[in-house]
Amino acid sequence: MQALLACFPHPHGNPLLKFNSQSQRLNSLPTLISTSKFFPPQPQIFLYPSSFVLNTPKSPTIRAPKHGQVRCGISSNGNTSNEKKGVKEWFEVCGEALSNAFPLWVTLGCVLGLVRPNCFSWVTPRLNIVGLTIIMVGMGMTLTLDDLRGALSMNKEVLSGFVLQYSVMPLSGFFVSKLLNLPSHYAAGLILVACCPGGTASNLVTYLARGNVALSVIMTAASTLTAVVMTPLLTAKLAGKYVAVDGSGLLISTLQVVLLPVLAGALLNQYFQPLVKLVSRLMPPMAVATVAILCGNAIAQSSSAILMSGGQVILASSLLHASGFFFGYILARMLGLDVTTSRTISIEVGMQNSVLGIVLATQHFGDPLTVVPCAISSVCHNIFGSILAGIWRHSAPAEKKD
């Protein structure tokens, strides 16, 4: 101990520290001996059974090892951690750059699907489901079970999204078809896709836009489960054609692609956080790539019909989804909802389950051209949604900035 105190000379001489018999009972717990009586208030001595450690806030660390020698030195173990930190930061910057260019990748995928449809021949329906499931698990990793419980308790927000979903879009489809005087087959296809529930892509776009993912998932599930009644009813009223919707098939698809993967991701986040921290950096770039591939594949499957349809159907689909995004946000704000919730509802309302529209148009409408608005819709809502995600990703609402 005297050798240790000799490293720090004091103007009044080195005091002797006396220990009573009780100090010899120390087993494994360190005892803090304050030296403020003899020294300036900064130094502190930590006494361990096998070594002494003296720490000062802005001084080197001095340790006495077991064999009794006092070694003074400055610990330098930061190089390895700095290198690891540098690699992590570089990886995060690259992932952020890819995610920020979301509209560009979606547009490139759509153009490639239109010009070179054979490039997406490898994309099978099974692969689509697997890709979406993985991304939904990744989105679930950003949530906790408390987030999901909180979203279930947001009755006003869920109800507002549901009402806007089945009012703004069907009415927009009806009025756009009348405004542009679309042929009956195109008008029926446009109204049909407008009456479909929210699509899985809305959850991905909400995730990339840093919206309320839990609320988006709950709203998608609510609109999908009620589509068994709402889609046939609204289509029959607005398009004059009743279409039957496979309720059990929709339920199974929603469970497989949306609810169960998100719940699995939330459970992983709850109980396996080290794994989640490792994988979470990969999720935004993977989500961007998945949406770009899905959009390109949708275009590739209907490329010839899209090229034959001309600009009228493209304009009609663009107006439909622009109306959904715009009025979804404005009306949600008018209902007194916060910015983040309004953005989430805007994305949910503006993005439809176009795949369901394509299936229903193929099964229940005799004219094959009825499918064209549904196919073009899948592209328009993803392009508009990706643009909004790119903008909202970098413009945090005022509630979050504070």
As a whole number of angstroms, the distance between CA 246 and CA 228 comes to: 7
| Identity at 350, one-letter amino acid code | G
* Distance separating alpha carbons of residues 173 and 179, to the nearest angstrom: 10
Amino acid at 29: L
pLDDT in tens, 43-63: 444 444 444 444 444 444 444
Q: Which two tokens stand for residue 171?
A: 């009415």
Residue 147: count of CB within 10 angstroms of its CB: 18
Residue 146 in any domain: the answer is: yes
> Do the Cβ atoms of 373 and 317 come closer than 8 Å?
yes
Residue 199 lies inside a defined structural domain of this protein:
yes
Contacting residues for 313 by C-beta, under 8 A, at least 6 apart = 182, 186, 190, 306, 372, 373, 376
Percent above pLDDT 70 for the chain: 72
pLDDT for position 43: 47
Quote the CA–CA distance of 181 and 167 in Å, as a whole number: 21
Q: What is the pLDDT of residue 30?
A: 46
d(CA 152, CA 129): 25
- Residue 294 resides in a domain: yes
Q: Is residue 273 part of a domain?
A: yes
Instruction: Pull the structure tokens for residue 57.
Output: 């806030």
At 105-162, the pLDDT tens digits run 877 888 888 888 888 888 887 887 787 788 778 777 877 888 778 777 888 999 999 9
236 or 251: which carries more pLDDT confidence? 236
Which CATH number belongs to the domain containing residue 290 in this structure? 1.20.1530.20
* pTM for this prediction: 0.66
Reference 348, options 181, 157, 184, 191; nearest CA is 157
The number of folded domains in the chain is 1
Tell whether 151 is covered by a domain: yes
pLDDT tens per residue across span 363-384:
777 777 788 888 888 778 888 9
The per-residue b/e assignment along 295-333, b for 16 or more CB within 10 angstroms, e otherwise, is bbbbbbbbbeebeebeeebbebbbbbbbbbbbbbbebbb
Q: What is the pLDDT of residues 70-107, one digit of tens each?
A: 444 444 455 555 555 566 667 667 766 676 677 778 77
Q: Which parts of 116-246 fold into alpha helices (H)? A: 125-140, 145-152, 155-179, 184-194, 200-208, 213-225, 227-239
For residue 11, what pLDDT band results from cuts at 50, 70 and 90? low
Give percent of the chain above pLDDT 90.
16
Residue 256 belongs to some domain of the structure: yes
Name the phi and psi angles at 54, rounded to 5.
Answer: -115, 120
Domain of 356? 121-393
Q: Is the dihedral of CA 100, 278, 199, 107 positive or negative?
A: positive
Q: Is 51 left (phi over 0), alpha (psi -120 to 50) or beta?
A: beta
Do 128 and 297 form a contact (C-beta atoms < 8 A)? Answer: yes
Question: Where does residue 2 fall: left (phi above 0), alpha (psi -120 to 50 degrees), or beta otherwise?
Answer: alpha
312 in any annotated domain: yes
- 3-class DSSP state for residue 308? helix
DSSP state letter for 352 = B
Q: Is residue 47 part of a domain?
A: no
Instruction: Let me know the angle formed at the C-alpha of 380 by 300 and 113, rounded to the nearest 5 degrees.
Output: 15
